[in-house]
Amino acid sequence: MIVSRALAGLAIMLCALMSSSARAGLGEPSLQEIDDAITELDVQRARELIDRVTTESPGLALLRARLANYLGDCDTVAAILSSPELAAADTTGLGDVGRRCAGVIAGATVIEDAGSGIRLVLQDDADRVLVPFVTDVVVRARAHVEHDLGVRFPRPLRIVMVRDLFSLSAVSGLPLAAAETTGTVAVARWGRVTIISPRATALGYPWEDTMAHELTHLALSRATRDFAPLWLQEGVAKREETRWRAPRPFDRTPDPTETARAAMLSGRSVGIDKLGPSIAMLPTPEAASIAFAEVASFVSYWIEQNGAPAFQLLLDDLKGLGSHDADGAMRSVTGFPLTYWVARWRAALMAVPPEARPGEPPTRARGSTPARAKPDELARQVRLGDLLQARGYSAAASLELAPALAQAGSEAAIRWRAAKAELGAGRIEEARRRLGTVADVDAVVGPWFALSGRLDRTAGAGEAAEQAFRLGISADPLSEEVACEGSWAPRSPGAIGAPPPTVPKDPARRALCEAVRASSRD
């Protein structure tokens, strides 16, 4: 009896201890845990962890501000970091980002698409017409990046489309001068993609691939807890920016491997691990282009050599090791350090049969612009053509553009002008001849593909026309020719009373076309 009583008492004591231990084990989460959750874009978990903290501290307040920034709540960031004490503790410039970001986001259009898992903030409400296209690209690119990197994005995925570089700088914290120097159009930071509207640039830019590129950065941050070194970030992003879709013309133009090889031979190589804080902050656009080419070529080479599973393992190791130095992860996955792989890659580059003389750019693969084309003369002819075309003198414009086309036949921008003049003059066959084919031009120019699509459709090649229209939208969606599938509304005085120009049948494209035309009339 006594023994049984003693055993019962012992059992109660043990239960109490176990219960106490269990409570101690749950405990308050550390600030590092919260920080890691935010870095991995796991904002829901970060919020829960913060809610469990009972002791207020400046560090916790800073994490609250950081979380608010990841949630796109710039007002809260600015409010939290407005206190002098916290502002002094803020070494990341988050307070400044919050204040400037709040100015960009204030009153902005917010589109929550729960079905697609996207939250899109538009600084310019006029960009609403781009939403269907942006959503489509994001959904597809996100799926592919998730597959390649073995990581799943939390929903919603936050995207901010800003109107200009000034706002991009404000929302991302990227110095404006650096953004202007390198022509940065998008930044993946603070758990969101901030991208410039295609209307910010006169001729558009490849915004679809840019979106995929930035999504990859976000995925890498999540996969490695932001321990991926810069070369890996940019190399993988560069690799992923075209893999989400079917191949397109000029996908590898210029070829990164050739560019890297030429840079190495000419002594202009930037170096895999010498990118500084950001490629966008390299001194010149040329240096940035070479850096991109080098890291893209290196990453492709590494994955080619080690396989995709090894790549995902590398990401896991980077996260596990918690260091920006990739050597440890490299050794862990492949048995060799980074320098070894860089040396192997350089050797492989040199083994590629030379297609160009050292120090010279790769030979033009397409088109045929004569080497002695005079830029001033070209500019003169193009400008005269534009002036005449704008006044409705298509035939006269055609006359002015003819010598320009002869001088710079590979310039898609000249070809579509010449073709447009011919179309304006009612000479469809001549327009087709002047427009040429993809093989005749050297870059993606939206209006060229739009006219090409129009001519293809006229010729009954519906599929080719559709592809051309899609390509046009990927490059310059707010050009009238692109938005309106190769048609345009003449605005010359003589065009008053002319029949209304055609509009696309697809509702999204029709809305885009009508918006572009309305904007042009303002």
DSSP assignment letter at 122: E
Q: Is 125 in the site for other proteins (CB under 8 A)?
A: yes
Minimum CB distance to other proteins smaller for 293 or for 349: 293
Given 396, 428, 464, 508, the residue binding other proteins (CB under 8 A): 396
Q: Which of residues 483-502 bind other proteins (CB under 8 A)?
A: none
Q: How far is CA 3 from CA 9, 12, 13, 404, in A?
A: 10, 14, 15, 107
Q: Where are the alpha helices (DSSP H) in 307-458?
A: 308-321, 327-334, 338-351, 375-390, 394-407, 412-424, 428-435, 446-458
Q: Is 375 in the site for other proteins (CB under 8 A)?
A: yes
Q: Is 214 in the site for other proteins (CB under 8 A)?
A: yes
Given 223, 228, 293, 338, the residue binding other proteins (CB under 8 A): 293
Q: Which of residues 329-368 bind other proteins (CB under 8 A)?
A: none
Please give the Cα distance from 399 to 385 (Å, whole number). Answer: 8
Contact pattern for other proteins over residues 169 through 198, marking x by CB under 8 A: -x-----x--xxxxxxxx---------x--
Nearest-approach distance from CB 492 to other proteins, in angstroms:
9
DSSP assignment letter at 383: H
- DSSP string computed for 92-111: SSHHHHHHHHHHHHTT-EEE
Q: Which region among 59-67, 81-89, 209-217, 298-306 touches other proteins (by CB under 8 A)?
A: 209-217
Q: Is 148 in the site for other proteins (CB under 8 A)?
A: no
Please give the Cα distance from 140 to 121 (Å, whole number). Answer: 19
Residue 320 near residue 268, CB atoms below 8 Å: no
Q: Is 256 in the site for other proteins (CB under 8 A)?
A: yes
Secondary structure element (H or E) that encloses residue 488, with its range: none
Given 7, 12, 24, 202, the residue binding other proteins (CB under 8 A): 202
Nearest-approach distance from CB 233 to other proteins, in angstroms:
12
Q: Which region among 52-60, 152-160, 383-391, 427-435 touches other proteins (by CB under 8 A)?
A: 383-391
- DSSP string computed for 225-245: TT---HHHHHHHHHHHTTTTS
Minimum CB distance to other proteins smaller for 39 or for 172: 172
Q: Which region among 19-27, 201-209, 344-352, 454-462 touches other proteins (by CB under 8 A)?
A: 201-209
Given 204, 453, 486, 504, the residue binding other proteins (CB under 8 A): 204
SS3 assignment, position 191: coil
Nearest-approach distance from CB 480 to other proteins, in angstroms:
14
Nearest-approach distance from CB 154 to other proteins, in angstroms:
23
Q: Is 515 in the site for other proteins (CB under 8 A)?
A: no
Which amino acid is residue 116, in one-letter code? S
Residue 71 near residue 99, CB atoms below 8 Å: no
Q: Which of residues 70-109 bind other proteins (CB under 8 A)?
A: 75, 100, 102-104, 106-109
Which amino acid is residue 127, in one-letter code? D
Given 299, 441, 450, 482, the residue binding other proteins (CB under 8 A): 441
Residue 488 near residue 520, CB atoms below 8 Å: no
